[in-house]
Structure 1
Amino acid sequence: MNLADSPIRYPDTGSRQIMTRRGWWLVGLNVLVPGSAQSLAGNHRLGRLGLGATLVLWALVVVAFVTWLVAPAVVYTLASNSIVLWVVAITAIFYAVLWVVLTFDTLRLVRLVKTVPAARGGIAALAIAAMVLVSGGAAYGAYVATTASGFLSSVFVAGPSEPPVDGRYNVLLLGGDAGPDREGLRPDSIRVVSIDAETGQAVTIGLPRDLTNVPFDESSPMRATYPDGYGANGVCDVDLCQLNSIYTEVELKSPERYPDAVAEGSEPGIEAMRDAAEGITGLTIQYYVLIDMAGFQQLIDALGGVTVDVPHDVPIHADETFTTVAEWIPAGEQHLDGYHALWYARSRHGTSDYDRMARQLQIQEAVLAQFNAANVLSKFQDVAAAGSQVVKTDVPQSMLGYFVDLAGKTRELPIVDVPLVPDNGVDPLAPDYEAIRQMIEAALIPPTTEPDEG
């Protein structure tokens, strides 16, 4: 059959049955291969545009999928680049508009008035539903891409990447708790996460906020003032000479110690805490992440809550004095919203700082488990809005793809915890920092078991 005899391009318009079958075919082709309906029965130029755009899209999807299988970090790096995200958004808008044009042109080609009356609604409904699904999906993709670009620009800095040190990336996690009874923010949760740059194996080191005599390396601006450790002999420039007071002292009393901090995406107090953490652990800390604990509940709510195993009833306080109990989080497996998760992490009544450190680690691990692609994408607007208010970091955008890939490996492995607490042989009022560094080194490089000989 030659083209002149084709019922698609030259149908018998007097036959409603032929026109109806043709209508279903054209709408189906428009859904499966946009542009093919025009190439067969309409404007060839529009058809070539539609087919070309469709083939290019399929090719991009195949290339992206193969790249993700072979080198996922490349895909993650591109997906976390603001310029690439804007290109994706513009491309998605182009496809959304093109599919609307192709759909309405296809309905014009169908000539519904020539089809069987009973089929007209079905043909039109299929065409419109497909258009809404495809074009709406493309438009939403453009919205997500632009939102992601804004989120990345507001949270992550533009700067060079740092290489791993001894095969590891070390990140300082600070949980800020700026209560109404405090002068400025004082880190309530302090933890160093050391991640193997190849395997993703993570070791977390919980630093009690009441550690004393914190040492500083010779390169630290704090060393000149505190050569024997922070607060040695009870001397410091704030009311309480312990680890988490370092942030407050430097921010309020001596920010000039770190003149370049703000320009490099940090704060003087954060840089002092980084120096302190390096002095305690003996590790080089490439990056920090500061999390606003009060805003943290927004992020947990955006993720749909977290599930934790509560070892015993934990109180929620009625006021900031942490003495009056308003309600209890019961023991057992509990799915907590942001409000209850935050109180679970920071509750003080009838408990110790070391119990709180363990609970905070639970919440951090639960949030990590919730940070999967499906969950984040399905709630992306809320997650991005919460994240931009919760997180401050000096991790550069150029490292995001690598860290997202590494986080996927970390999620599959058990996290090794090194709590610097009395139960682990650490006295925060008289810490042996040499023993602490040996403990950390043993966790980072566990001894290998030699096979028996003979």
Structure 2
Amino acid sequence: MTSAARPRGAGASSRSVVNPYPLRYPDSSSRAGMTRRAWWLVGMNILVPGSAQVLAGNRRLGRIGLGATLFLWGVVIVGGAIALLSPSAIIGIAAATWIPEWLSALRSLPLLIAQGVLLLYGVLWAVLTIDTLRLVRFVKIEPWARIGTGIVAIVVMVLSTGGAVYASNATGAVRDTLSSVFTQSGPAIPPVDGYYNILLLGADSGEGRDSMRFDSISVVSVNADTGAVSIFGIPRDMPNFPFAPGPMQDKYPDGHESHDSKTCGWGSGINQLRTEVEVCQDGNELYPDAVDNGSEPGVEATKDAAEGILGIEIPYYAFIDMDGFAALVDALGGVNITVTERLPEGGGPAYAGQPAEDWAIGWIEAGEQHMDGNTAQWYARSRYTTNDWDRMRRQRELQEAILAQATPANVLTRFQEVATAGQHLVKTDIPQSMLGYFVELAMKAKEQPVTTVEMTPATGIDDRNPDYAHVQELVQQTLHPVAATETPAG
């Protein structure tokens, strides 16, 4: 390069010429100047990755780095704006609900691509940082600056690359959770009488447990406009209940009958339906479309029973496994519960009348408790020193405590743990296309108290001979309270 094209550097004969490119062509004989240049390069690599290479190194590598940086900034800015204006849109983008139903198998592809892009960006930033350190030319700068610039560059590289890897793993967790929990296809069902009703089932789903029964049965009704939540608890031993129109009503037009434990089930309770339908009968013949729609015959029979009991249509269900439930509580950092009486932990007595002190493996003491997953699980299970009504109340308390603990900030800081727990916690037939809408409702619901109605003697329900017309009237009064009218003056 001629002297007209290339600025004079360390060996220039004239010191009067000002170097217009001190970063690319520095005066290597000036230790102070090289030190300043080193800090500039490290700072630019941190603030705008790729800019150090454009100004002082390989311009092609720099343009790649700058392009990737600007693209990432654009995605973050646009994504942040969308999240502020419409959180449900972010869920829709993540779940790829914009992909048509006939291509629903490809809905995990966008998140897979995003996961790969984040990993590539992490690798690119590491390469840019290492190249920046090469451009610094450590032998020409002050000794203290060698340590300072090196430490700053490496720490930021570890943080930025680690952040990209974490974001990639979080994206993968979202992809795995969406594909394992929610059905990829399925129609978006409109609300029924202004509500979305979801059957919530809880049980221990140990391997090989053909006789697994639903220990917790409730229906969550979410107001489609306000997000207000009402939870209706159904006793698991509720007898002689009616069914909504369908195969089980055809089989039991006058209400569900008791069964001999030697033939099928252990009575007439609603929690026996899974065993009856899936073990003692051909459930796939009764509900041939259940599996294709992300459900099970036993679940569909329980849906029909809950609809018959409460008098409302229930399009969706969510099954909560107790082991996964404990993992979710731990992932959220525990829950706060006020325990009203001392409760034993353990599987129960070996014989009638055995003192709890003989079989309990631990105790949950009365008072304010911050429970981990294992303790919360026993709090929901314990019933041998109380009764089923108390256990139902405690299960609702835990549901509300988890809702209170699942704040956006808490979920974000523990995102991967929560997502991983969710994969083992839930089975549901809620389609991915409904997720965005339900997220919006969930955000509204957090601003309102939860209404809980248990179908127990405390609410005037005779547990031995329930008046199902009264039950349905109670449900309607809860969901659609009649507005008080003013009495005309005079």
Query: How far apart are 1:60 and its partner, in Å?
Result: 1.4
Find the partner of 1:242 among 261, 269, 275.
269
Equivalent residue of 1:76, what SS?
Answer: helix
Quickly say closer, same or farther: Cα 1:404–1:3, change in 2 above 3 A. Answer: farther
In structure 2, C-alpha distance between the alignment counterparts of 1:319 and 1:59, rounded to whole Å: 59
- Counterpart for residue 257 of structure 1: 286
Q: Pairwise mapping of residues 389-428 of structure 1 onto structure 2 (< 5 A)?
A: 389-428=424-463
Structure 2 letter corresponding to 1:202: V
- Counterpart for residue 84 of structure 1: 110
Query: How far apart are 1:443 and its partner, in Å?
Result: 0.9
In structure 1, C-alpha distance between the alignment counterparts of 2:18 and 2:400, rounded to whole Å: 64
Equivalent residue of 1:107, what SS?
Answer: helix
Find the partner of 2:238 among 192, 203, 211.
211
Q: Assess if the C-alpha contact under 8 Å between 2:259 and 2:268 holds in 1.
A: no
- 1:238-287 C-alpha deviation (Å, 9 max, x unpaired): 33111111222111122121122122211111000000011111111111
Quickly say closer, same or farther: Cα 1:204–1:58, change in 2 above 3 A. Answer: same
Q: Assess if the C-alpha contact under 8 Å between 2:376 and 2:398 holds in 1.
A: yes
In structure 1, C-alpha distance between the alignment counterparts of 2:18 and 2:436, rounded to whole Å: 51
Find the partner of 1:221 among 223, 226, 247.
247
Q: Assess if the C-alpha contact under 8 Å between 1:3 and 1:9 holds in 2.
A: no
Quickly say closer, same or farther: Cα 1:152–1:179, change in 2 above 3 A. Answer: closer
In structure 1, C-alpha distance between the alignment counterparts of 2:156 and 2:208, rounded to whole Å: 57
- 1:86-143 C-alpha deviation (Å, 9 max, x unpaired): 1221110121122112111211221111111121011111111111111111011112
Find the partner of 1:116 among 133, 137, 142.
142
Query: How far apart are 1:358 and its partner, in Å?
Result: 0.5
- Counterpart for residue 200 of structure 1: 227
In structure 1, C-alpha distance between the alignment counterparts of 2:185 and 2:371, rounded to whole Å: 37
Residue 125, structure 1, aligned to residue 140, structure 2: no
Q: TM-score, normalised by structure 1?
A: 0.93
- 1:149-194 C-alpha deviation (Å, 9 max, x unpaired): 1222122211222222222111000111468998611111000000
Residue 356, structure 1, aligned to residue 385, structure 2: no
In structure 2, C-alpha distance between the alignment counterparts of 1:90 and 1:180, rounded to whole Å: 35
- Counterpart for residue 164 of structure 1: 191
User: Higher mean Cα deviation, 347-356 or 150-159?
Assistant: 150-159
Residue 58, structure 1, aligned to residue 73, structure 2: yes
Structure 1 letter corresponding to 2:448: L
Residue 138, structure 1, aligned to residue 164, structure 2: yes
Find the partner of 2:33 among 18, 27, 35.
18
Equivalent residue of 2:146, what SS?
Answer: helix
Query: How far apart are 1:237 and its partner, in Å?
Result: 4.8
Residue 290, structure 1, aligned to residue 319, structure 2: yes
- Counterpart for residue 103 of structure 1: 129
Equivalent residue of 2:179, what SS?
Answer: helix
Structure 2 letter corresponding to 1:389: H
Q: Assess if the C-alpha contact under 8 Å between 1:178 and 1:184 holds in 2.
A: no
Q: Unmatched 5+ residue regions in structure 1?
A: none
Quickly say closer, same or farther: Cα 1:9–1:453, change in 2 above 3 A. Answer: farther
Equivalent residue of 1:315, what SS?
Answer: strand
Q: Assess if the C-alpha contact under 8 Å between 2:260 and 2:266 holds in 1.
A: no
Structure number with greater Rg is 2
Structure 1 letter corresponding to 2:86: A
Query: How far apart are 1:211 and its partner, in Å?
Result: 1.2
Structure 1 letter corresponding to 2:374: Y
Residue 313, structure 1, aligned to residue 355, structure 2: no
Equivalent residue of 1:144, what SS?
Answer: helix
- Counterpart for residue 278 of structure 1: 307
Query: How far apart are 1:318 and its partner, in Å?
Result: 5.3
Find the partner of 1:431 among 466, 476, 479.
466
In structure 2, C-alpha distance between the alignment counterparts of 1:257 and 1:129, rounded to whole Å: 62
* TM-align CA RMSD: 2.5
- Counterpart for residue 38 of structure 1: 53
Structure 2 letter corresponding to 1:206: G
Query: How far apart are 1:52 and its partner, in Å?
Result: 2.1
Quickly say closer, same or farther: Cα 1:140–1:413, change in 2 above 3 A. Answer: same
Equivalent residue of 1:163, what SS?
Answer: coil
Quickly say closer, same or farther: Cα 1:74–1:123, change in 2 above 3 A. Answer: same
Equivalent residue of 1:90, what SS?
Answer: helix
Equivalent residue of 1:385, what SS?
Answer: helix
Structure 1 letter corresponding to 2:314: I
Quickly say closer, same or farther: Cα 1:452–1:40, change in 2 above 3 A. Answer: farther
Q: Unmatched 5+ residue regions in structure 2?
A: 1-6, 8-16, 97-107
In structure 2, C-alpha distance between the alignment counterparts of 1:232 and 1:4, rounded to whole Å: 96
In structure 1, C-alpha distance between the alignment counterparts of 2:51 and 2:325, rounded to whole Å: 50
In structure 2, C-alpha distance between the alignment counterparts of 1:9 and 1:210, rounded to whole Å: 80
What is the aligned length? 453
- 1:354-391 C-alpha deviation (Å, 9 max, x unpaired): 11110000111112223233433443443333322222
- 1:31-90 C-alpha deviation (Å, 9 max, x unpaired): 011111122222222222222222222121111111111111101222344333212211
- Counterpart for residue 13 of structure 2: none
Equivalent residue of 1:409, what SS?
Answer: helix
Quickly say closer, same or farther: Cα 1:107–1:178, change in 2 above 3 A. Answer: closer
Structure 2 letter corresponding to 1:224: D
In structure 2, C-alpha distance between the alignment counterparts of 1:433 and 1:416, rounded to whole Å: 20
Query: How far apart are 1:294 and its partner, in Å?
Result: 3.9
Query: How far apart are 1:198 and its partner, in Å?
Result: 2.3
- 1:380-404 C-alpha deviation (Å, 9 max, x unpaired): 4433333222221111222222222
